[in-house]
Amino acid sequence: MAKLEILEIPHPILTQKAAEVEEVTPQIKQLLADMLETMYASHGVGLAGNQIGQLLRVVVVDCADEEGEPDPIKMVNPKIIWRSENKICHNEGCLSVPRQYADVVRHEEVEVEYLDENGVRQTRRTGGLLAIAFQHELDHLDGILFIDHLSKLKRNMLIKRLEKRRKRVAEEMLEGDE
Ligand code: NI
């Protein structure tokens, strides 16, 4: 297995639409395993193809089950086939927008249809954190980030804060070299 590099904003691939996977090959199965490993190593709860530079509709998610045990879900060509009318607000973050968080309103429950790593069609209806993660990750496949759901003002503030942080980290690294 291999840990992959996670792309951060403003990388252009993050704003592009990912293509459908035509066949769930051993390479796709390996990619899903690598994505899951990368996600765990980065302490994330979800990762989409775009984020590792692959414009393919592949997603991994793990929000743990009710007992707190791992619940890895690997999805190929996922699609939301049902959304609840009820919406909820949750403080979201993203590995591609490091250390920035903001409240996003999403559907409380969704049903997702996808192919698993063996190419078998699955559906999963869920609520709570997992439903939020599904919506967040599926957005990635369409080139949409959680910050795109915010007001322009809030979005710009968050991006500015991220740039400031990057600058500070770069400066600290330079000082460390002296
Ligand atoms: Ni994300």
Fold of 12-150: Peptide Deformylase (3.90.45)
Separation of 177 CA from ligand 1 center, angstroms?
33
Quote the pLDDT of residue 101: 97
Which portions of the chain are predicted below pLDDT 70?
A: 1, 178
Write down the pLDDT at residue 178.
64
Give the tens place of pLDDT for each residue, 32-81. Answer: 999 999 999 999 999 999 999 999 999 999 999 889 899 999 999 999 99
Neighbours of 39 (CB within 10 A): 24
How far away, in angstroms, is 137 Cα from ligand 1 center? 6
In terms of C-beta density within 10 A (0-12 exposed, 13-18 middle, 19 or more buried), how is residue 173 classed? exposed
Token pair 């999963």: residue: 124
* Residues designated catalytic: 137
Q: What is the pTM of this model?
A: 0.95
Whole-number Å distance, alpha carbon 51 to ligand 1 midpoint, is 8
List CB contacts of 22: < 8 A, sequence separation 6 or more.
Answer: none
CA of 139 to the centre of ligand 1 (A): 8
